[in-house]
A and B are shown apart, each in its own frame.
Chain A
């Protein structure tokens, strides 16, 4: 066994022990219709270790400065998909974005994701997003008798749709899409990703039906391949590629 190189870990530990706090400005788009119909920017100054997450900064504000600041969060490490927001103009998860990686010298702007109705501060109405997801039949469909044991699937067939199984339904992709901003009827990247996950699953038998759903005027053909979705995905899913694969399947009817 090779001896592990300790250099990087050592340096990280030393830096962590020093914990140099810096002052950062969070510039947050506030909106509360109980108080005003107008949204406005509000600045908060916080002391924070640059290796902490944007979510930690939001908690500092909520817990120490202004309890009315409202946002969703749960797992705090990029798995639950609650805290997608627009940070410095890009869709990201607040819990996967470290302060040091987004130029803390300047004010960090934070606003709700676009294209969905803002309910309060950073909270949007997720219902249209989940409706589009439900519309693509996001579940395995099979016919005939169930086998007594598991269905067999080769490792290669399993790998075929691996990328799109990673989706956490955070809406970072869909709400980064200019087509979706202009027309909320468009299914949006996340719904297509979840259709892809089943269309290319060798066990599934409803690929044709899903393709027909996505052949609709609000389906995959609306995609303009701007790659915003791929850039926005916190799970590293190649979203645009998945959409292209669905388009190709619609033309060739092979999947």
Chain B
């Protein structure tokens, strides 16, 4: 076991982690731990753009953006945080441009902007061009630009280091962060990183679904590490299903395709979104569009032999426009489906895309131990966190924005904290929990296989807690997850070695997914209303009286050693906007 000492440790090297690192490394001795290489992070798969009311091409302002974010999140958004997001968006985009990001340009040479779902002029009058973009590879450009600037600033990376435990130590009656424990993939060695401040920026947890736009590596490792140490997870029942994933595969086809004029059609060729969202049509918020697609499918108007998908139609757009604005997604259609988007419609279905919930933080990125108490020295930003700027449903282009605004804020806050505070003493045997976990899985001779359990989990989640949910389907999921967690105790791996043992890491990742799936299902079962991405057929209306509040889920261990999820609730911060009926 090796022990390292840094002022600030950042867990994850996607957009939020690297944006934080660029700030933190200027102010404190910083290490970035990533289970991949920085440029492999899933920020790179984001396509459509980053919202900011630059008003480069038409009238816009941050207040309209704030309203759209609050409405898009179905009034579960903390409005003070949304206001910060929308206001600081403008500098966040300009910062990236100055760092070198190659945005598409207007004829005047300023940053070009395009339409995106849920973003509107003057509180819902009509779509507005707010998304700053670089073709359909905006996330790729952000990831590359941030990595380039990390190289420029000399940021220290530990690549292929898996953070598996968060060290919390009680000091003067307060739980504080003492550091993290990591597993080095290349050697199997365990490393303890003692740090004055720790920032989680480790991304989402989409791999508990089968049809998902998420990378294989998005397994909720940061959420699970904190949850197991008794910290809450907020609003985990809210998961976004992006309307346009490639049929069966789930690969993302950007909403920018509809921003450029693409149209969703059913088997009769009908532009069905006109029925569900008369003003915004195909550019309604993602939860609305995904439900509309499944309504069409359920009512027999789906496409293909099984009627299980609909079409994204780009055939009326000029090929030059597709080449210039949507080169990657049109290539995906050619590569993976063998069809030509110039002339053929693309089969799509909703795909599990984004966790609105996560580790609760305040607007400085400080992690909360309950509704109000901060954990000194612990921060989170990006998809792993819940500020909450996305509420019950995130707007497209607000996640690339979130990682930049709150990545920067948490990087500055964590580095300043490291300056003002001393190390917290490490607990005795700080790596013991990780050593036990690794040895148990490596030595296990149980007869359950990781791939079997993972597939059963994914199929259960797709069937039971996707776009439409009922008490019955969620209960089925809760029971199945409990069974899988029990069987997980008998899981074993074939690779017993220390060198690049990805077999072992997949087993650990599955354990994370199972714990988080349980939190999600239990949280969803208790929310007897429909709001944003959480739609209950048995409670089809939003219930502001009883449920305009955040879910806070805690892990509790009983006297018998068994763990369970305990739910509590936290009020929503309302500043400017009282809840209204949500129409697009």
| A contact residues vs B (CB 8 Å cutoff) | 1-9, 12-14, 16-17, 32-35, 51, 62-64, 66-68, 70-82, 96, 98, 119-121, 123, 126, 130, 133-134, 138-140, 142, 146, 149-155, 158, 161-162, 165-169, 198, 201, 203-204
The answer to whether A1 touches B316 (Cβ under 8 A) is yes
The answer to whether A80 touches B497 (Cβ under 8 A) is no
The answer to whether A168 touches B39 (Cβ under 8 A) is yes
Q: CB-CB < 8 A to B45: which residues of A?
A: 75, 77, 79-80
The answer to whether A32 touches B499 (Cβ under 8 A) is yes
The answer to whether B345 touches A12 (Cβ under 8 A) is no
Min CB gap B322→A, angstroms: 13
The answer to whether B493 touches A8 (Cβ under 8 A) is no
Q: CB-CB < 8 A to B42: which residues of A?
A: 74-75, 80
Within 8 A of A (CB), among B304-334: 304-306, 311, 313, 315-316, 328, 332
Q: How far is the CA of A51 from the CA of B339 in the complex (A)?
A: 13
Given the known inter-chain contacts A34-B498, A75-B215, please indicate yes or no for A13 contacting B40, CB distance below 8 A. no
Min CB gap B490→A, angstroms: 15
The answer to whether B98 touches A70 (Cβ under 8 A) is no
Q: How far is the CA of A77 from the CA of B106 in the complex (A)?
A: 30
Given the known inter-chain contacts A77-B332, A119-B186, A139-B148, please indicate yes or no for A146 contacting B98, CB distance below 8 A. yes
Q: How far is the CA of A1 from the CA of B315 in the complex (A)?
A: 9
Given the known inter-chain contacts A5-B343, A17-B306, please indicate yes or no for A201 contacting B102, CB distance below 8 A. yes
Q: CB-CB < 8 A to B305: which residues of A?
A: 13-14, 17
The answer to whether A165 touches B144 (Cβ under 8 A) is yes
Within 8 A of A (CB), among B1-56: 36-37, 39-42, 44-45
Q: Mark interface residues in B344-374 (1 if CB within 8 Å of A CB, else 0).
A: 1111000000000000000000000000000
The answer to whether A9 touches B345 (Cβ under 8 A) is yes
Min CB gap A39→B, angstroms: 14
Min CB gap A183→B, angstroms: 24
Q: CB-CB < 8 A to B499: which residues of A?
A: 32-34, 119-120
Chosen A-B contacts, 11 in total, with CB atoms closer than 8 Å, are: A9-B345, A12-B338, A63-B449, A74-B217, A75-B45, A78-B332, A79-B140, A130-B37, A140-B148, A151-B97, A155-B109
Min CB gap A96→B, angstroms: 6
Q: CB-CB < 8 A to B93: which residues of A?
A: 150
Q: How far is the CA of A72 from the CA of B109 in the complex (A)?
A: 40
Given the known inter-chain contacts A119-B186, A150-B94, A165-B141, please indicate yes or no for A63 contacting B37, CB distance below 8 A. no
What is the chain A residue whose CB lies nearest that of B246?
A77
> Which of A5, A32, A149, A198 is the most central at the interface, judged by chain B CB atoms within 10 Å of its CB?
A149
Q: CB-CB < 8 A to B316: which residues of A?
A: 1-2, 4
Q: How far is the CA of A67 from the CA of B102 in the complex (A)?
A: 42
Say which residue of B103, B148, B328, B501 sits within 8 Å of A138 (CB atoms): B148
The answer to whether B502 touches A9 (Cβ under 8 A) is no
What is the chain A residue whose CB lies nearest that of B249?
A77
Within 8 A of A (CB), among B288-312: 303-306, 311
Q: How far is the CA of A7 from the CA of B338 in the complex (A)?
A: 12
The answer to whether B110 touches A152 (Cβ under 8 A) is yes
Within 8 A of A (CB), among B244-289: 247-249, 251, 269
Min CB gap B340→A, angstroms: 7
Q: Mark interface residues in B70-100 (1 if CB within 8 Å of A CB, else 0).
A: 0000000000000000000000011001111
The answer to whether B102 touches A70 (Cβ under 8 A) is no
Say which residue of B37, B39, B108, B328 sits within 8 Å of A152 (CB atoms): B108
Q: How far is the CA of A78 from the CA of B37 in the complex (A)?
A: 15
Say which residue of A35, A138, A152 sits within 8 Å of B109 (CB atoms): A152
Interface size class on chain B is 35 or more
Q: How far is the CA of A32 from the CA of B501 in the complex (A)?
A: 11
Q: CB-CB < 8 A to B44: which residues of A?
A: 75, 79-80, 168
Min CB gap A142→B, angstroms: 8
Q: How far is the CA of A195 from the CA of B269 in the complex (A)?
A: 48
Q: How far is the CA of A98 from the CA of B338 in the complex (A)?
A: 10
Q: Mark interface residues in B196-224 (1 if CB within 8 Å of A CB, else 0).
A: 00000000000000000001110000000
Q: How far is the CA of A163 from the CA of B249 in the complex (A)?
A: 28
Q: Is B123 engaged at the interface, CB distance under 8 Å to the other chain?
A: no
Q: Is B119 engaged at the interface, CB distance under 8 Å to the other chain?
A: no
Q: CB-CB < 8 A to A120: which residues of B?
A: 499-500
Min CB gap B447→A, angstroms: 14
Q: How far is the CA of A155 from the CA of B37 in the complex (A)?
A: 32
A-B pairs with lowest CB-CB distance, top 4: A140-B100, A67-B494, A63-B451, A152-B109
Q: Is B61 engaged at the interface, CB distance under 8 Å to the other chain?
A: no
Min CB gap A126→B, angstroms: 7
Q: CB-CB < 8 A to B497: which residues of A?
A: 32, 34-35, 68
The answer to whether A9 touches B306 (Cβ under 8 A) is no
Q: CB-CB < 8 A to B347: which residues of A?
A: 9, 12-13
What is the chain B residue whose CB lies nearest that of A15?
B338
Q: How far is the CA of A17 from the CA of B332 in the complex (A)?
A: 20
Say which residue of B36, B106, B109, B332 sits within 8 Å of A74 (CB atoms): B36
What is the chain B residue whose CB lies nearest that of A67?
B494
What is the chain B residue whose CB lies nearest that of A197?
B102
The answer to whether A166 touches B137 (Cβ under 8 A) is yes
Q: How far is the CA of A74 from the CA of B207 in the complex (A)?
A: 11
What is the chain B residue whose CB lies nearest that of A10?
B304
Min CB gap A220→B, angstroms: 20
The answer to whether B100 touches A13 (Cβ under 8 A) is no
Extra pairs beyond A68-B494, A80-B36 (16, CB < 8 Å): A5-B315, A6-B345, A7-B344, A8-B344, A16-B247, A17-B305, A51-B338, A68-B497, A72-B40, A74-B36, A80-B39, A80-B44, A149-B110, A155-B104, A161-B102, A165-B134
Min CB gap B552→A, angstroms: 31
Q: CB-CB < 8 A to A151: which residues of B?
A: 97-98
The answer to whether A150 touches B339 (Cβ under 8 A) is no
The answer to whether A150 touches B97 (Cβ under 8 A) is yes
Given the known inter-chain contacts A12-B338, A68-B497, please indicate yes or no for A154 contacting B186, CB distance below 8 A. no
Q: CB-CB < 8 A to B247: which residues of A?
A: 16
